[in-house]
Structure 1
């Protein structure tokens, strides 16, 4: 077991989710991995869902080493039958599902006129259809009977996503799904919200081609707060929406983006000065003790 000083430093109460079972898709890396760690540190049993069982088992092992517990349910969220089986197995093993973090997703850089139907369908299936299937099954197989909370992870789609139009369309669809589900499932005590990360320094950045490295490193200059966000800052937003403190919040999107969508021509983009960065609201929150700097920033 790791030194207590080297465990997740959450701002939330240690037993906030004690005894709860919380499904986290895409739990093998990036924001999903970080969120699973925080939930485990707060007493939950995160059930890690993804296609690579090896990656999920690695994260589950990390959580165990830190004194928590996690379970694994390998599944391709784009496969309806597989999703049904995976959720059924989680309910059979744990007896309940209290919450779902619909985090799994992915896309690639391409202008619209070069995207094939196959490429479009693959991104929409991952970022929209898969999230719908996971939410529907967690609702019908568990939450419909005893309530729960769902947080869908979308993206900074305000102004859309030139260069990744397939992902922008899918994420916008997930926002609409979030709003609809919040209404339709409210009578059964289920809250549905979304978190929209902006430019987050996560392992997902390393999945882009090498020629995108320069652009990725420069993106912080378009953010009024002058930096990238951290995985822990995104996880904190997710945890808040899952918590009792958000019990009257449903159907909304919480942006974690440093005010980037508000940037307008004609307003100077000055970087926060050193004192503001060190002591003010722009100081990063780095509660995740196992955070890994994306390779694109260390090269």
Structure 2
């Protein structure tokens, strides 16, 4: 299927894990993809992977905590592709720990790379997305779990992103821009590290997933993002979609 043919997508944090999977899924459905990340080698490798599948992709260096870097990224993407149709805010620094243990610098790094970067990127891309664009932001089940102990700062960042998602959806509907969020549960380097560091907790976590597995970054998470960016979801905006095998009950 090529339901995104003619669309131009920008994916941050696209060098590995969920970001890579989303980029691959978008490209497989016909979108030209701009892959942004701090480590150029990683996003270049994903761009090569997309091109090996006969897709169109270019890699860009960007530090999403730097407003000048964001402005340069969006300008370069528009210059390279001639426009912008889709923004996926995936990049996020992750710091876990009890509230009394997280440092000021760690807290700032999580917030700067999460809600602040999401806000900046949405605002910078807004003029290019008017008239039919789509934004998908990455939330997390950590923000809606009954006990976020040990994950409070990360959960706060992701809930901030969900609030920004809803506000942008309402404010920019008149501009023809749809804004949604996904809450993924997927195999990734971060999840693998967590599983190694806290194997008992990871095992308990997996047992709470009705479908009994973690999602695939491309075939599960990426497919959901493709849906939210395509015409089949044209009447969906301001929504938070868990893509987690049935684990989360949203209220």
Same fold, TM exceeding 0.5? Answer: yes
1:240 aligns with 2:227: yes
- Give the corresponding residue for 2:197: 211
Shift of 1:31: 1.1
- Give the corresponding residue for 2:55: 68
Unaligned 5+ residue runs, structure 1?
Answer: 1-13, 264-299
- Give the corresponding residue for 1:18: 5
Shift of 1:209: 8.2
- Give the corresponding residue for 1:111: 98
1:99 aligns with 2:78: no
1:254 aligns with 2:251: no
Alpha-carbon displacement from aligned partner over 1:98-125 (angstroms, at most 9, x marks no partner): 0111111131321111111111111111
1:54 aligns with 2:41: yes
Shift of 1:81: 1.0
SS of 1:261 mapped into structure 2: coil
Q: Of residues 215, 224, 230 in structure 1, which corresponds to 2:210?
A: 224
Q: How many residues align?
A: 247
Q: Give the distance between the partners of 2:67 and 2:239, measured in 1 at CA.
A: 26
Unaligned 5+ residue runs, structure 2?
Answer: none
SS of 1:47 mapped into structure 2: strand
Q: Give the distance between the partners of 1:79 and 1:212, measured in 2 at CA.
A: 32
SS of 2:202 mapped into structure 1: helix
Alpha-carbon displacement from aligned partner over 1:48-102 (angstroms, at most 9, x marks no partner): 0110111000000111111112011110011011101110111122111001111
When Rg is computed on C-alpha atoms for both structures, the one with the higher figure is: 1
Alpha-carbon displacement from aligned partner over 1:157-190 (angstroms, at most 9, x marks no partner): 2136321111111111111100100011111110
Runs of 4+ in structure 1 over 4 Å off: none
- RMSD between aligned alpha carbons? 1.7
Alpha-carbon displacement from aligned partner over 1:221-241 (angstroms, at most 9, x marks no partner): 122332222222111111110
- Give the corresponding residue for 2:145: 159
